[in-house]
A = this chain, B = another copy of it.
Amino acid sequence: MILYGDSQSGNCYKIKLLFSLLNIEHQWVHVDILNGDSHTPAFLQKNPTGKIPLLELSDDQYLSESNAILNYLAAGSELYPQDTFQQALIQQWQFFEQYSHEPYIAVARFINKYQGMPDERKAEFYNKQDGGHKALHIMEQQLQTAPFLTGEQMTTADISLYGYTHVADEGGFDLKKYPAIKQWLLKIEEAPDYLAMED
């Protein structure tokens, strides 16, 4: 299988981390989004949304959306348990990630780290802070009751939220106020075959 992605994108890194944790053989094809590589006619034919990561299983079988890819690749492993309610809880946290976490924390990080905080996006950067802290606060509450987001065991929900949470400081979010989140980050980093994000 081929994964089209950019290791510096948190959404792509999630997949890279899972590949490592589960020792899944794959080919990684680098797509430079800042250079427009995900909007060439050839790429749009593979994924009309022009987004990465994209998983290619065969010439006519593709899967997009980082969290859908995670759950697909982890199916059958303990990172995505068989139990229907557990799977639903995992998805709950992943939809939370895409709607209430990523649009704040990942976007603030992008403006700060990749765009170098241009004047015309400063207001947007500051507007993202409240929503990001709200998301972190909800994670903190949950992680004070259990070691992982869905309970006693690490799942793809944790990998999803780890992606941008562990680099939230690059978006201006100080994690000092969130001790349970910091503990949780360490626990994930202790997993066998953990792989750090490229800088």
Contacts and interface: CB of A to CB of B under 8 A. Distances in A.
Q: For the complex formed by this chain, how many copies does it contain in all?
A: 2
A71 B88 contact: yes
Interface in A49-101: 49, 57, 61, 63-69, 71-72, 75-76, 84-85, 87-89, 91-92, 94-96, 98-100
B48 A141 contact: yes
Interface residues of A, number: 33
Contact of A91 (B65, B92, B102): B65
B72 A88 contact: yes
A48 B95 CA distance: 15
A49 B49 CA distance: 29
Contacts of A76: 84
A138 interface: yes
Contacts of A142: 48
A95 B65 contact: yes
A132 to B, nearest CB: 14
Interface string A119-142: 000000000000000000010011
B75 A92 contact: no
Contacts of A84: 72, 75-76
B68 A88 contact: yes
Given A64-B96, A65-B99, A72-B88, 13 more contacts: A48-B142, A63-B89, A65-B96, A66-B95, A67-B95, A68-B91, A69-B88, A71-B87, A72-B85, A75-B87, A75-B88, A95-B98, A98-B99
